[in-house]
């Protein structure tokens, strides 16, 4: 059993169902599955099973089509976040040992910067371009035969390397095997959106390299359609919902906040929506209540991470309704109930299980959990202990199995649904010649949930402006990770062993 089978089965059952819906083209399951088989075959002539093939695309159907073709050929997909800096892409491509990359033409210049430094990447395949010596994507689709390919793929074989920002400043590649992805599909259809059917249309409005891309798999499993939003703007979102009669989408809480606040919400027909799935960052109760008032009982929450993808816990649309009806609003502040595929334990600092109601680290075991990080035994051993994935999230389980997240052990900042590790930003700022010390924290932000704030101690006799520090970050890491605020301070609060007390920075300075 492997993930590639789902598309081929859906194409046989519902050949005329739309697989991809774009503004100028609709591709049926029959045609789409043939294109994927052709692309798999072409890729097998360039690389071999088990090779890593990276993806760097905007939200367009070829990005997910290629993802399916890579996995269906028994290769390992490495989807990369388009918002990362070129040096971060370079690290991921080198670390994963990627041999081929498929990218959309708008990233040609960006990749040109690092191309000469990546001898391991032998094949460069460009979507909608081909003037830079790269292979044209459509040529790969058109030239190969479209008959069935049957690579031998085992459930434990790797399918997807999900690179997360690392606490140590280096991204880590969580290995999602075929078993993990199949379990994710089952949990989605069982506990997140059990009403998903072959007439549905999923709108990929959030980046397809992340949670929205994960939603592709259960939708393909039931032969539902997939539409795309190139850029997230409320007006464009509502227009696509009305045009494609969208039933499902995956959004970060900040995106739901923007949609609810937009006057466009009242101008378009959104009656087709039935599963608006949110997750990736905490949802504020006020935002959720306004969203429910505006769009009706269409919201489902998921809690997961790259290391245990998509659903460790879920709060279904029915549970949202019941929480409101029964006046149990605390359920809406939870991340829902633990899904059947995993066991969750709350462990203390010595890895001892804590009773219900007590705070500790959320740890997860089961078929949804990654076997480890790619080529990173140290990080794997720190994160997976005796089969238990240590999520880095702090929370508790109540008597009814509702899981609550209260904190993040790793100090991660979530801004607009994107994870930012303070350590990574601190490492950059610390390299500035005027900086003696730095500490980075997340501060509440109305629009983005959290934003990045840096506290900087300058070297004696040196000066620097906040803008200069922000620009310096932009030159070295993804722009979304740069601080929004820089405050210059004489000292940083520290404990007796010299560890910076971020808790104090948070309480003192807000």
Per CB under 6 A, residues contacting ligand AMP are: 164, 279-282, 301, 303, 305-306, 335, 391, 393, 405, 408, 419
Residues belonging to the chain? 510
To ligand AMP, the closest distance from the beta carbon of 53 in angstroms equals 21
Number of Cβ atoms within 10 Å of the Cβ of 416: 20
Q: Which is nearer to ligand AMP, 207 or 483 (CB)?
A: 207
Complex with ligand AMP: residue 275 or 305, whichever CB lies closer: 305
Strands of 1-118, DSSP E: 18-21, 26-28, 52-56, 76-79, 100-104
CB closer to ligand AMP, 126 vs 414? 414
Longest CA span, the chain: 73
Distances (CA, A) of 95 to 99, 222, 290, 363, 376: 11, 35, 44, 27, 10
- Min dist. Cβ of residue 315 to ligand AMP (A): 8
C-alpha distances (whole Å) from 101 to each of 35, 108, 127, 171, 203 are 18, 11, 11, 18, 25
Two tokens, residue 490: 């004489």
For ligand AMP, the closer of residues 141 and 159 by Cβ is 159
d(CA 173, CA 161): 5
Question: Minimal distance in Å, beta carbon 59 to ligand AMP?
Answer: 17
How far apart, in whole angstroms, are the C-alpha atoms of residue 416 and residue 251? 10
CB of 176 to ligand AMP, least distance (A): 11
Our CB check for ligand AMP shows the closer of 7 and 259 to be 259
Q: Encoding tokens for residue 174?
A: 């969580």
Taking alpha carbons only, the member of 281, 276, 301 closest to residue 191 is 301
What's the closest the beta carbon of residue 164 comes to ligand AMP, in angstroms?
A: 5
- E-strand ranges in 319-400 read 337-338, 342-347, 360-366, 384-385, 388-397
* 176 vs 422: CA distance, rounded Å: 26
Rounded least distance, CB 22 to ligand AMP, Å: 27
Taking the complex as a whole, the smallest distance from the CB of residue 464 to ligand AMP amounts, in Å, to 32
Instruction: Select 38 or 320, whichever has its Cβ closest to ligand AMP.
Output: 320
Asked whether the CA dihedral 149, 150, 152, 155 is positive or negative, the reply is: positive
Which of 218/225 has CB closer to ligand AMP? 218
Between 165 and 270, CB nearer to ligand AMP: 165
Q: How far is the CB of 199 from ligand AMP (least distance, A)?
A: 28
Cβ-proximal residue to ligand AMP, closest one: 305
When the beta carbons of 162 and 244 are compared against ligand AMP, the nearer one is 162
CB of 177: closest distance to ligand AMP in angstroms? 16
Exposed/middle/buried for residue 224 (C-beta within 10 Å: 0-12, 13-18, 19+): buried
The pair of three-digit structure tokens given for residue 454, joined into one six-digit string: 């840096």
Compute the least distance from the CB of residue 432 to ligand AMP, in Å. Answer: 28
Which residues lie below 8 Å from residue 264, measured CB to CB, with a gap of 6+?
234, 235, 238
H/E element, 319: helix 317-325
Hey, what are 301's tokens? 């929450």
Which two tokens mark 255? 């995106």
* Minimum distance, C-beta of residue 120 to ligand AMP, in the bound complex (Å): 26
Query: Does residue 113 sit in helix, strand or coil?
Result: helix
Nearest approach in angstroms of CB 430 to ligand AMP is 24
DSSP 8-state assignment for residue 189: I
* Residue found under tokens 């080529």: 375
Nearest to ligand AMP of 8, 158 (CB atom): 158
For residue 315, what are its two tokens? Answer: 């709060």
Nearest to 248 by CA among 190, 299, 319, 318: 299
> Does the CA dihedral 351-353-356-358 come out positive or negative?
negative
Q: 415 phi and psi, to 5 degrees?
A: -115, 115
User: Shortest gap between Cβ of 301 and ligand AMP (angstroms)?
Assistant: 5
**How far is it, in rounded angstroms, from Cα 201 to Cα 378?**
42
Q: Which is nearer to ligand AMP, 8 or 308 (CB)?
A: 308
Cα 250 from Cα 309, distance rounded (Å): 14
Residue 405 or 441 with smaller CB distance to ligand AMP: 405
Nearer to ligand AMP, 254 or 301 (CB): 301
């Amino acid at each position: 059993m492997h993930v590639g089978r789902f598309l081929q089965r859906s194409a046989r059952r519902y050949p005329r169902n739309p697989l991809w819906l774009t503004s100028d083209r609709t591709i049926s399951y029959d045609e789409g599955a043939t294109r994927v088989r052709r692309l798999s075959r072409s890729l097998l002539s360039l690389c071999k099973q088990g090779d890593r093939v990276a993806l760097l695309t905007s939200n367009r159907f070829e990005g997910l089509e290629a993802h399916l073709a890579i996995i269906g050929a028994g290769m390992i997909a490495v989807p990369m976040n388009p918002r990362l800096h070129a040096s971060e892409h370079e690290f991921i491509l080198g670390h994963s040992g990627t041999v081929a990359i498929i990218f959309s033409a708008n990233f040609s210049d960006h990749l040109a910067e690092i191309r000469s430094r990546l001898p391991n990447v032998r094949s460069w395949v460009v979507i909608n371009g081909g003037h830079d010596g790269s292979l044209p994507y459509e040529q790969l689709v058109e030239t190969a035969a479209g008959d069935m390919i049957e690579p031998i793929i085992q459930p434990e074989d790797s399918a997807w390397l999900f690179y997360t920002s690392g606490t140590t400043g280096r991204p880590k590649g969580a290995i999602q095997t075929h078993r993990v992805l199949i379990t994710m599909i089952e949990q989605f259809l069982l506990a997140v959106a059990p009403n998903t059917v072959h007439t549905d249309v999923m709108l990929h409005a959030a980046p397809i390299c992340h949670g929205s891309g994960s939603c592709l798999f259960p939708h393909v499993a039931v032969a539902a359609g997939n539409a795309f939003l190139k850029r997230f703007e409320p007006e464009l979102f509502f227009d696509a919902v009305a045009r494609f009669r969208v039933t499902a989408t995956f959004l970060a809480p900040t995106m739901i906040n923007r949609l609810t606040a937009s006057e466009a919400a009242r101008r378009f027909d959104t009656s087709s929506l039935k599963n608006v799935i949110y997750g990736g960052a905490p949802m504020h109760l006020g935002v959720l209540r306004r969203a429910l008032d505006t769009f009706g009982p269409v919201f489902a929450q998921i809690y997961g991470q790259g290391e245990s993808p998509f659903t460790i816990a879920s709060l279904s649309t029915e549970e949202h309704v019941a929480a409101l009806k029964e006046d149990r609003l605390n359920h809406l502040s939870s991340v829902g109930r633990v899904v059947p595929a995993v066991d969750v334990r709350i462990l203390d600092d010595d890895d001892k299980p804590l009773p219900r109601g007590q705070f500790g680290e959320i740890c997860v075991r089961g078929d949804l959990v990654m076997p480890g990080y790619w080529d990173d035994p140290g990080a794997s051993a720190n994160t997976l202990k005796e089969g238990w994935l240590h999520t880095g999230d702090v929370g508790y389980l109540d008597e009814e199995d509702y899981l609550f997240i209260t904190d993040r052990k790793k100090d991660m900042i979530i801004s607009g649904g994107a994870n930012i590790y303070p350590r990574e930003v601190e490492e950059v700022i610390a390299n500035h010649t005027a900086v003696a010390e730095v500490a980075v924290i997340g501060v509440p932000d109305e629009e983005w949930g959290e934003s990045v704030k840096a506290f900087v101690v300058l070297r004696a006799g040196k000066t620097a402006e906040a803008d200069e520090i922000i620009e310096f970050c932009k030159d070295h890491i993804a722009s979304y990770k740069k601080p929004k605020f820089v405050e210059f301070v004489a000292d940083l609060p520290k404990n007796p062993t010299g560890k910076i007390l971020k808790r104090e920075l948070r309480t003192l300075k807000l």
